[in-house]
């Protein structure tokens, strides 16, 4: 019996991009924005003209979960440095607090791990524009900033959710709600682990298995910058406690808020 979704013909699709190739990137979080940025950057360096459509329905300018991909918001020193090597320096509008140490709390005591030169090279950021109750937006979204870099490089931002994927004559094609399928030369999927769209690829992409995921709790508390400075300073606090079901907890100081993350079974 003929499959309703014929397997891709790699030869016909052509694994190499060339001038005029069209690329779709599904998901404009950090992975999608970095992929778009570095693909366009690489293409410009070898003088080929690649078109990138970056599909992202979320507007990172909006506060609250609507405009936020939610995470602890810590950018490690190595990541900050790797980006700097690529000429990407996080602006002060995005970095709410420089972090210079991790304080590790266990059942038998606490230990402080400082950065080697006590420099505040770890960045604490918000992924969106701030929590639900924010009165005045003082800092910019990390995801919004990275997406801006991709757009400046030449990506076309499409504010739509992709809800269909299929193969047409060996080429991948995607569809947004109410739209018709559009074929591309290459599709990059960067939708994170929570997107329903991942189910689309099961059975359509050989060998694809959706990632396993567990629940986390994440919340912002407004303490004010003075209180944060006094009690937490520029340290991220990590808790590895022997408590049932709790695997990991962290308190991350930002500008006026702290982010609390809990990870474990059935939280």
Ligand X SMILES: Cc1cc2nc3c(=O)[nH]c(=O)nc-3n(C[C@H](O)[C@H](O)[C@H](O)COP(=O)(O)OP(=O)(O)OC[C@H]3O[C@@H](n4cnc5c(N)ncnc54)[C@H](O)[C@@H]3O)c2cc1C
| Residues forming the site for ligand X (CB under 6 A) | 26-32, 55-58, 69, 71-75, 161-162, 190-192, 195, 197, 216, 218, 261
Least gap, CB of 169 to ligand X (angstroms): 23
Report which of 172, 82, 73 is spatially closest to residue 123, judged by C-alpha positions: 73
Cα–Cα distance list, 206 to 11, 25, 173, 201 (Å): 16, 19, 16, 9
Q: Which helix (H) or strand (E) holds 189?
A: strand 186-189
Least gap, CB of 261 to ligand X (angstroms): 4
Whole-angstrom distance, CA of residue 56 vs CA of residue 196 = 14
Least gap, CB of 48 to ligand X (angstroms): 25
Least gap, CB of 84 to ligand X (angstroms): 16
Instruction: Specify the residue, 73 or 130, whose C-beta has the smaller distance to ligand X.
Output: 73
Find where tokens 């109750």 sit.
Answer: 133
Alpha helices by DSSP H, listed for the chain, are 10-13, 30-45, 77-85, 142-153, 225-231
Cα torsion for 231, 233, 235, 238, to the nearest 10°? 10
- Residue 69, both tokens: 């991909």
Instruction: Specify the residue, 48 or 59, whose C-beta has the smaller distance to ligand X.
Output: 59
Instruction: Specify the residue, 37 or 55, whose C-beta has the smaller distance to ligand X.
Output: 55
Least gap, CB of 139 to ligand X (angstroms): 16
Whole-angstrom distance, CA of residue 37 vs CA of residue 67 = 21
Report which of 209, 171, 158 is spatially closest to residue 26, judged by C-alpha positions: 158
Least gap, CB of 259 to ligand X (angstroms): 8
How large is the angle between the packed helices 30-45 and 142-153, nearest 10 degrees? 20
Instruction: Specify the residue, 48 or 62, whose C-beta has the smaller distance to ligand X.
Output: 62
Q: Residue 165 forms beta bridges with which residues? A: 174
Instruction: Specify the residue, 28 or 255, whose C-beta has the smaller distance to ligand X.
Output: 28
Least gap, CB of 183 to ligand X (angstroms): 17
Report which of 123, 144, 137, 136 is spatially closest to residue 67, judged by C-alpha positions: 144
Instruction: Specify the residue, 40 or 191, whose C-beta has the smaller distance to ligand X.
Output: 191
Instruction: Specify the residue, 33 or 256, whose C-beta has the smaller distance to ligand X.
Output: 33
């Amino acid at each position: 019996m003929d499959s309703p979704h014929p397997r891709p013909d790699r030869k016909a699709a052509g694994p190499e991009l060339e001038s005029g190739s069209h690329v779709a990137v599904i998901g404009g979080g950090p992975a999608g924005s970095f992929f778009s940025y570095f693909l366009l950057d690489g293409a410009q360096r070898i003088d080929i003209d690649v078109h990138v459509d970056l599909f992202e329905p979320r507007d990172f300018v909006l506060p609250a979960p609507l405009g936020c991909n939610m995470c602890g918001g810590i950018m490690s020193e190595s990541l900050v440095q790797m980006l700097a090597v690529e000429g990407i320096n996080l602006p002060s509008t995005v970095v709410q607090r420089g972090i210079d140490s991790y304080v590790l709390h266990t059942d038998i005591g606490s230990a402080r791990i400082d950065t080697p030169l006590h420099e505040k090279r770890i960045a604490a950021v918000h992924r969106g524009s701030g929590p639900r109750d924010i009165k005045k937006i003082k800092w910019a979204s990390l995801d919004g900033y990275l997406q801006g870099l991709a757009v400046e490089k030449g990506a076309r931002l499409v504010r739509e959710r992709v809800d269909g994927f299929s193969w047409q004559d060996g080429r991948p094609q995607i569809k947004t709600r109410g739209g018709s399928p559009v074929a591309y030369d290459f599709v990059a999927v960067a939708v994170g682990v929570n997107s329903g769209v991942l189910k689309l690829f099961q059975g359509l992409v050989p060998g694809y298995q959706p990632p396993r995921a567990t629940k986390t709790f994440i919340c912002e508390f407004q303490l004010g910058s003075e209180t944060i400075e006094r009690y937490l300073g520029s340290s991220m606090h990590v808790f590895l406690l022997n408590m049932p079901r709790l695997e990991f907890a962290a308190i991350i100081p930002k500008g006026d808020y702290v982010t609390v993350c809990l990870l474990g079974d059935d939280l």
